[in-house]
Amino acid sequence: MSGRLAVLIEESRLLLSSVPDAVCIKNTRGEIVFANRAYEKMLKRGSTELVSDTSEICENGVMLGTCMVYHDISDINRLRRELDRVKQKLRKAQTRYTFQDIIGQNKALLRVIETAKTASMTPATIMLRGESGTGKEIFANAIHNNSPRRNEKFVKINCASLPEALLESELFGYKEGAFTGALRGGRKGLFQEADRGTLFLDEIGDVSPAMQVKLLRALQEKEIMPVGASEAVKVDVRLICATNQPLEQMVEAGTFREDLYYRLNVFPLHIPPLRERKEDIGLIVQYLLQQYNEFYGRDVKEISQEAVALLQQEDWKGNVRELENVLSRVFVNIAQKTICIDRAAIAQAMSGEYGMLQQAEHTEKPTGAAQILLETLPENLQEAVAQTERQCIIRAIQQYQGDKNRAAVALGLPLRTLYYKCKKYGI
């Protein structure tokens, strides 16, 4: 039969020699009886990262030999290793916050931090409760970074920022051809992206009733069903949720499923608002000074006690996020060589008067349309600023036909800030 194998090789020599992959043929004794040029080059390179496909050569049910096709996957493995390194860096970048970044000495806050540290070491689902701007996302980052899953992915999504249909495909993924515009090959959802890691669902209280059912199934079965798929996919995900909504009242009203509420509210953490820990404002500002100096190109060393006292007089309905906005305005307006932030700079930023202080004395009295506009505004400065801000937001949203993404860009606001202000002003 070895003669018959030689005939077959001779008949196929031209074809086998032109194949770009390394090919060799062995007889029944395991001896190489043919090897193409690609195989010889492979041996000279000394490639070690190879995979091979082996097929038996048979005629009339009798085995004549085997054909082996080798593939050099060195480049593929190199790219895979580089991708793993990039993913590792991304995981570190995504979980940049730790418990050390939660600033404060308030007793209630310290109790929450210690409780969160204990909970982070368990696989329990955590529900972060608190007003907008209290730092729920920072807590979620810190919990993940302190957990046994710290070396895996931390994936986050704001459930209020996406419509129901898009939110489903983002969370659970989809198969190719599931809907018009679906990517070729489909796409993994965030549950699969966070497999063995942590998934942070922000604004969970804004999820629709239909999506609540699908989330409940994912939590109960620990598996998800991609859009357009016929088989479920197992996932191992640690869930952290956050909301500023009164979920208990929503459960009573029937707008939030009771069974999902108990699935999510396994380990609740209530983050106190800034107005209940005003003694921490000075520490928070000192922490922010270091970051803002680098961002705004300043060299501010300190903030005066009078300025801190003025900040402590506010109720801070927007919590730490609102405090950050005020401090940002200060850094924009102060002179390049300012060393200490004084009370006047804080008062200017809090009032919304963005012009330089020394220019205020030379401001001309408004006339015409500007005078009419001023006469329609409330006497209280904060109320006037709020009314003007509300009108600007309404005008921008109307201008872009309800597209809040474009409106936020036009207003120079982060999208989350725009959503917060819309809720604040009832827009």
pLDDT score for 190 = 92
Q: Token pair for residue 198? A: 């942590």
226-237 pLDDT, tens per residue?
888 778 899 999
pLDDT score for 278 = 95
Q: Which residue has the higher pLDDT, 356 or 404?
A: 404
User: Residue 257 pLDDT > 60, yes or no?
Assistant: yes
Q: Which of 305, 316, 263 is nearest to 135 (CA)?
A: 316
The topology under which CATH files domain 2-72 is: Beta-Lactamase (3.30.450)
pLDDT band for 345, please (50, 70, 90 cuts). Answer: very high
pLDDT band for 192, please (50, 70, 90 cuts). Answer: very high
Cβ distance 397 to 407 under 8 Å? yes
Tokens 């043919």 found at:
34
Mean pLDDT of 385-407: 81
pLDDT band for 204, please (50, 70, 90 cuts). Answer: very high
Cβ distance 132 to 321 under 8 Å? yes
pLDDT band for 239, please (50, 70, 90 cuts). Answer: very high
CATH class of 380-425: mainly alpha
Q: Where are the domains of the chain?
A: 2-72, 85-272, 275-361, 380-425
- Phi-psi region for residue 72, left (φ > 0), alpha (ψ -120 to 50) or beta? beta
Q: Token pair for residue 20? A: 């770009």
pLDDT score for 372 = 45
Which one is the CATH code of 85-272: 1.10.3470.10, 3.40.50.300, 3.10.310.30, 3.40.640.10? 3.40.50.300
Chain centre distance of CA 171: 12
User: Residue 75 pLDDT > 80, yes or no?
Assistant: no
Mean pLDDT of 327-344: 91
pLDDT cut 70: percent of the chain above it = 86
pLDDT score for 183 = 65
281-316 pLDDT, tens per residue?
999 999 899 889 888 888 999 999 999 999 999 999
Q: How far is CA 178 from CA 174, 183, 229, in A?
A: 6, 9, 8
Q: Which of 61-75, 113-127, 255-269 has the lowest mean pLDDT?
A: 61-75
| Helix axes of 415-425 and 319-333: crossing angle, nearest 10 degrees | 120
Give the burial string for 225-257 (b: 16+ CB within 10 Å, else e): bbbeeeeebebebbbbbbbbeebeebbeeeebb
Instruction: Give the chain's radius of gyration (CA, Å).
Output: 32
pLDDT score for 342 = 93
For every residue of 233-245, DSSP letters joined together read EE---EEEEEE-S
CATH number attached to the domain at 275-361: 1.10.8.60
pLDDT score for 374 = 52
Q: Which of 188-202, 203-217, 231-245, 350-364 has the lowest mean pLDDT?
A: 350-364
pLDDT band for 96, please (50, 70, 90 cuts). Answer: confident
Number of H helices, E strands in the chain: 18, 15
Q: DSSP code of 272?
A: P
Of 28-37, 86-95, 384-393, give the range with the top mean pLDDT: 28-37
Average pLDDT, the chain: 84
Give the ranges where 222-304 is alpha helix by DSSP (H). Answer: 247-253, 258-264, 281-296
Q: Residue 250 is which amino acid? A: M
Q: Token pair for residue 313? A: 């007089």
Mean pLDDT of 274-283: 95
355-383 pLDDT, tens per residue?
444 433 333 445 444 444 555 666 677 77
pLDDT score for 416 = 76
Q: What angle do CA 278, 284, 286 make, to 5 degrees?
A: 125
pLDDT score for 46 = 64
Q: Which residue has the higher pLDDT, 290 or 155?
A: 155
Cβ distance 63 to 28 under 8 Å? yes
pLDDT band for 39, please (50, 70, 90 cuts). Answer: confident
Mean pLDDT of 179-200: 82
pLDDT score for 377 = 63
Chain centre distance of CA 401: 27
Q: Which of 267, 263, 257, 158 is nearest to 212 (CA)?
A: 257
